[in-house]
Structure 1
Amino acid sequence: MADSDPLVLLRQAIAAKQPIVPTASSDPSTSAVDLAQATHLAFPESSLALPISTATRFVTGDQPVDLRSIYFAWLNRERAIPDYNAAATALNDSLPEGAGVRNLGFVGRLDLITWLEGASDSEYIRPLAGDEGDAAAAPGGAAAAAKVGGAAAAAQARAGKGTMDPRLASIYSGERKMGDRNTALRGIKPTDFSHVRKLAVPFLTKKPHASHSSSSQTMALNQKAPGKRPDPIILLSPSASALLRLSNARSFLQEGRFVPPDTSSSTASMLHLQRSMPGIDPTRPLRFILVEGPEQFKPEYWNRVVAVFTTGQAWQFKNYKWSNPNELFKHVLGVYVGWRGEQAPDNVRGWGHRVLSTGVDRWMGEGHDASRFRDKEVVEQIWKAIEVNMNNKGWRRDAAPTSI
């Protein structure tokens, strides 16, 4: 029976790196189709094709999960929870009425994936028919042999330390071995939960009686002791088309080398940079706080904003203190970073001299560092404009402006 069990077939194919093909026919040799059009899941190496609606032994909420949902969860195992949910919704929209994938919960999906990758057991998978009965019906067989073997192993582990009492060895063989955090999560593959923190920030910040700050961003923005100059703030554009994001801002603004924002998997919501500005403080560098939005701002934080990076899209300023770009750039320096040789968007040019328009050379890929020599020139131009603007607004060695 195990030879045709969907979960066993899927696990064996994954372990052997064999193809698993969604098809529109019961013929295992049929070519693959999109999962939304598939009626069967074929295992060509086993010459089997199972209906994709087949119920499996994986049970959640007292309901067996179908093979389509199991295979979909495996295909999307690397996705974060929001992306997985969105993909499931998109697939369900393209399936016929009455068909659809089960949206597995986080714990259930983690349990399934680690079992498919080789974990020894699963609390959601029911045993194959006959497994429990065979074990119970043969106390002198496999179960007894396992106990004897465990006792022998325990006794052997004390070789050279004296003979262990057989009864004590039998007790030791029944001990449950403790694991580390990875085995507790039913797998050996480290799991990155860093995205959960970013998703939780909007909910935590709404708690009015919290005894501490709800996020590191709020804590850093609020660091202002009496008589101490607060840290200036730079707002980056949250647009996906922006060339400068939190993921590559340090490389560009501090190290003078541009890399595309999608080359880093950072999920940070805030960044600190240090920059020497002798015209403001000749004795120590200034620390700048970089964020992509003013969601954590208090009203007084706006007096510390020294630059706003923009792509020319006006929706960026919707939640700003000054939502009109022409008004905003009367108070704050604007910076546009585009590709060298390309004209800035009409909006940016329409906002006039209050927005510094710059361009960097196109990214040629890793190993072409020699082509990035002009990046530092652009960075110095940006910092010089920020320093001049800060001087004009009243930034000093021991004080920040009370109004901009």
Structure 2
Amino acid sequence: MSNKAFIAGIGMIPFVKPGANAPYPEMAAQAGRLALADAGIEFGALQQAYVGYVYGDSTAGQKAVYGLGMTGIPIFNVNNNCSTGSTALFLARQAIESGAAECVLALGFEQMNPGAIGTVFNDRPSPFEDFDREAAELVGMPDLPLALRYFGGAGQAHMRKHGTPLEAFAKVRAKASRHAARNPLALLRKELSVDDVMNAPMLWPGVLTRLMACPPTCGAAAAVLVSEAFAKRNGLRTDVFIAAQAMTTDRPDSFESHDMMKLVGYGMSQAAAKQVYEQAGIGAEDLDVVELHDCFAQNELITYEALGLCREGEAAAFIDAGDNTHGGKVVTNPSGGLLSKGHPLGATGLAQCYELTHQLRGTAEQRQVPLARTALQHNLGLGGACVVTLYQSA
């Protein structure tokens, strides 16, 4: 694994509400064309493509890529719930580092329906059976949608364990809105106050308001990864590379700990981050900017601790000190995150890559974190999988 994987090109289209979107092949092809143009190469230079989506039929990846070109290259369809986009990125990075390919496309898209997400195939065992059973024992609330019950329950567990006030989650959501106001590609760009978030309709009394949940979203994003040798031969940029990356899945303690935070991936996140820090020889204190998986404000807060951005139980103080935004210790979700930018499942991980690449290039415009050189990406999927990626500027 001696070959570095460089981010030669990135592309992303504006995220929109379901119904306002173009069909998925058009969204995906548009993001792919933007990434190819940013890299300065033609489709024919690609040797492989990894295409992520959650809600779509088999080989929808081919349908998406064929809008860019048809050169007979291997196209791999990827589905890993909400971590799908970063899983495609993980596979693309492996292909470059192993020498299996020198120029690869990672592409993610999602065409979602309005409302809460749910299962599609109800005539067979659900991958969430074990999660549902544990959530039923720990929090009940069977009438709530799946994701809301899980992540709301995790937030409730943090509140009970550490005395975290509901206002802490509201502050996370308000911060997301301030960041998104600077992002022309974000779905929700209206700035919200803490009171706005607190006064929104309660989805779970005392635990979660409507504005603490990310909206269903449609969109697409893409990245072109290349080896250093390929970049030099073709005059491509080598200013941002993947310095370390790890993927983790559930271990027995996801269920045996009887802890809602563990059930939604706290352990996976902690383990993946530890692997990445060890690979790169750095610590959380060395990070300049982070894009993390804030599908709910509750998950952003507990992820601060899982990634080591603050000590366990100190997330509320971390937020109160402003250490999660511009002027603080580490800017989290300068894009607005899933809460404001939107969460088209298959595209999310590559949208995070898009944002962090711009940050390390110094081209994030109003969102720019000054002198950013080290960036961390955290993308989580229940069921489960977590991908943590460390980017550095060359």
Establish whether TM, by shorter chain, passes 0.5. Answer: no
Look at both structures and tell me which one has the larger radius of gyration over its CA atoms.
Answer: 1
TM-score, with length taken from structure 1: 0.21
TM-score, with length taken from structure 2: 0.22
The structure with higher relative contact order (CA 8 Å, sep 6+) is 2
